[in-house]
Amino acid sequence: MSSPAAVRAICCIGAGYVGGPTMAVIADRCPHIQVTVVDLNAERIAAWNDPDLSQLPVYEPGLDAVVGRARGRNLHFSTQVEAAIAAADLVFISVNTPTKTRGLGAGQASDLKWVEASARTVARAARGHTIVVEKSTLPVRTAAVIQEILTAAQGEQAGSSFSVLSNPEFLAEGTAIEDLEQPDRVLIGGQDPAAVEALAEIYASWVPQERILRTNLWSSELSKLTANAFLAQRISSINGIAAFCEATGADVREVARAIGADSRIGPKFLQAGPGFGGSCFQKDILNLVYLCRHYGLEEVADYWEQVVALNRWQQQRIARLVITKLFGTVSGKRIGVLGFAFKADTNDTRESPAIRICQELLDEGAILQIVDPKVSERQITLDLGRPAGEGEGSWQQMSTVQQAAAGADALLLLTEWQQFAQIDWPAVAALMRRPAWLFDARAKADASAARAAGLQVWVVGEG
Ligand code: NAD
Ligand code: UGA
């Protein structure tokens, strides 16, 4: 099977957190390639085309500059999905793959309906030879499904042919541009060497060759799920130890430093917190669990499932701890919530620990005063399943920490935004009702300044 020697036009299906930033960096680094990012969501595409770069639908440090350089030159955002596929010699599929909510595998398996729809659209619209690249995170052996859909189309459309590759994305939100510009590795899985090399050549424009790894399709697909499972496992491990530290007088930051100094363990991803959030860790582990069960590997499935169970427990533990410390009831009490995004430097709230923790406090009758520099009121409304309001069991969005603290019995720090490290504690404490608490689930605030200002302070993992 012959493949184009060099890719000249790329289409990316899915203008989300991955498709948008990834294609912007490819376009920026490869001015000789035309890159078109398409999506069915017209509102999202309009936001990507907004002349005001602060209105892009994804907030990532540095993204506006990259889009500003490439957009209109060789980076385009469009709703014309089929036209962009027809013009492309390489198509990335970067659509959402959430956990299934109903039917077979509900609650664990990934819902592949958007991937399948994308493959069918490619089958219909592609012209000549097209390299189809899985960018979404997918269950092992999904490439076989995509290949089957495309092969069926080959029979119908004379002259079209396809090569399927796996090229999972490892960027983390908040550092997406840095991760894309200087990746630890780029992973390409495939059986067609010409297609693998065509994709590798794109990345080679800025990624050193030794960081471009080539594997077979299934290893590539499984490596992505495994990487996320290992990363999430470290967080559940350290969060479990944090609870143990609180019970015994040890300090989880000291423990993390001590174990992280062992070069076999390493210092990264040992930050105790309110549990991991984000659209992927939970979904990818549950998918791994589902696949293990499918292949009869019950013990392996049980092992990984515990990573998710411990994460849920950590979120519940923090909500209950707040209630307990506030004399067993938060009914009618104001609590300032510092941060709603699942981590700092992103506007993304998917699976944010703040959602479950806030819901639990609302169910107990708390009045939440939420402040987050990037998350909109509309998003919080969607996540909490209720609009802003007043009275017991309600929430409001505030613009400053001072507003969040006004009349509050406690502040609960859930996202590690830099600004929360620089709170003027005497001024903020003066606005709160005594006795007042700071619950710092990220160990981000200046705890000694808060204590000096008269607050009682709980810090995750501090015994
Ligand atoms: P997202 O929901 O932000 O974006 C997906 C986009 O695809 C949406 O805008 C949706 O409208 C569009 N879409 C769905 N079906 C379509 C179709 N048939 N035609 C055109 N557009 C369609 O999702 P995301 O966060 O970008 O994640 C995409 C994939 O990348 C997922 O598989 C995810 O697991 C994986 N991933 C995500 C991250 C991350 O940090 N968010 C990192 C690595 C990998
Ligand atoms: C994660 C992975 O880091 C990426 O490599 C992967 O590409 C991505 O998932 C994906 O597949 O979607 P992301 O979820 O964007 O990236 O962000 P992380 O930095 O991994 O943080 C995930 C969650 O873990 C956040 O809630 C964060 O606050 C939490 N976390 C992280 C901790 O609680 N402690 C830590 O030490 C690190």
CATH for 4-215 is: 3.40.50.720
Chain-centroid distance of CA 195 in Å reads 29
CA of 113 to the centre of ligand 1 (A): 12
Contacts of 113 (CB under 8 A, 6+ apart): none
Distance, in Å, from the CA atom of 4 to the CA atom of 19, rounded to the nearest integer, reads: 23
Contacts of 332 (CB under 8 A, 6+ apart): 365, 366, 367, 392
Mean pLDDT in residue range 5-12: 92
Q: Is the CB of 44 under 6 A from ligand 1?
A: yes
Query: With the CA atoms of 345, 348, 353 and 357 taken in that order, what torsion angle do they form, in degrees rounded to the nearest 10?
Result: 110
Distance, in Å, from the CA atom of 386 to the CA atom of 397, rounded to the nearest integer, reads: 13
Contacts of 38 (CB under 8 A, 6+ apart): 11, 12, 13, 15, 45, 77, 78, 79, 80, 81, 84, 85
**Are both 4-215 and 310-459 of the same fold?**
yes
pLDDT in tens, 178-205: 999 999 999 999 999 999 999 999 999 9
Mean pLDDT in residue range 339-356: 96
pLDDT in tens, 222-261: 999 999 999 999 999 999 999 999 999 999 999 999 999 9
The predicted structure's pLDDT at residue 159: 82
The predicted structure's pLDDT at residue 155: 63
Query: With the CA atoms of 22, 25, 26 and 32 taken in that order, what torsion angle do they form, in degrees rounded to the nearest 10?
Result: 150
The predicted structure's pLDDT at residue 362: 98
Mean pLDDT in residue range 10-25: 98
Q: DSSP string of 338-385?
A: E--SSSTT----TT-HHHHHHHHHHHTT-EEEEE-SS--HHHHHHHHT
pLDDT in tens, 413-446: 999 999 999 999 999 999 999 999 999 999 999 9
Atom of ligand 1 nearest to the CA of 170: 43
Distance, in Å, from the CA atom of 77 to the CA atom of 12, rounded to the nearest integer, reads: 9
Closest Cα to atom 4 of ligand 2? 172
Match 């210092």 to its residue by tokens. 267
| Two tokens, residue 304 | 């990984």
CA of 315 to the centre of ligand 1 (A): 26
CB 396 within 8 A of CB 366: no
**Residue 213, SS3?**
strand
On the question of pLDDT at 47 being above 50, the answer is yes
- The ranges assigned to domains in the chain are 4-215, 310-459
The predicted structure's pLDDT at residue 153: 80
Closest Cα to atom 14 of ligand 2? 278
User: Among this protein's residues, is 358 annotated catalytic?
Assistant: no
CATH topology of domain 310-459: Rossmann fold (3.40.50)
The predicted structure's pLDDT at residue 3: 43
Q: Which residue has the higher pLDDT, 438 or 1?
A: 438
The predicted structure's pLDDT at residue 74: 98
pLDDT in tens, 109-152: 999 999 999 999 999 999 999 999 999 999 999 999 999 999 98
For the chain, give the mean pLDDT: 96
Q: Residues lining ligand 2, CB < 6 A?
A: 137, 169-173, 228, 231, 235, 269-271, 273, 276-278, 280-281, 342-343
Q: Is the CB of 222 under 6 A from ligand 1?
A: no
Output the pTM of the full model: 0.95
CB 129 within 8 A of CB 170: no
Q: How confident is the model at residue 1 (pLDDT cuts 50, 70, 90)?
A: very low
Atom of ligand 2 nearest to the CA of 270: 36
Question: If phi over 0 gives left and psi between -120 and 50 gives alpha, with beta otherwise, what is residue 232?
Answer: alpha
What is the 8-class DSSP label of residue 186?
E
On the question of pLDDT at 4 being above 90, the answer is no
Long-range contacts of 67-72 (CB under 8 A, 24+ apart): 67/24, 69/28, 70/24, 70/27, 70/28, 70/31, 70/35, 71/24
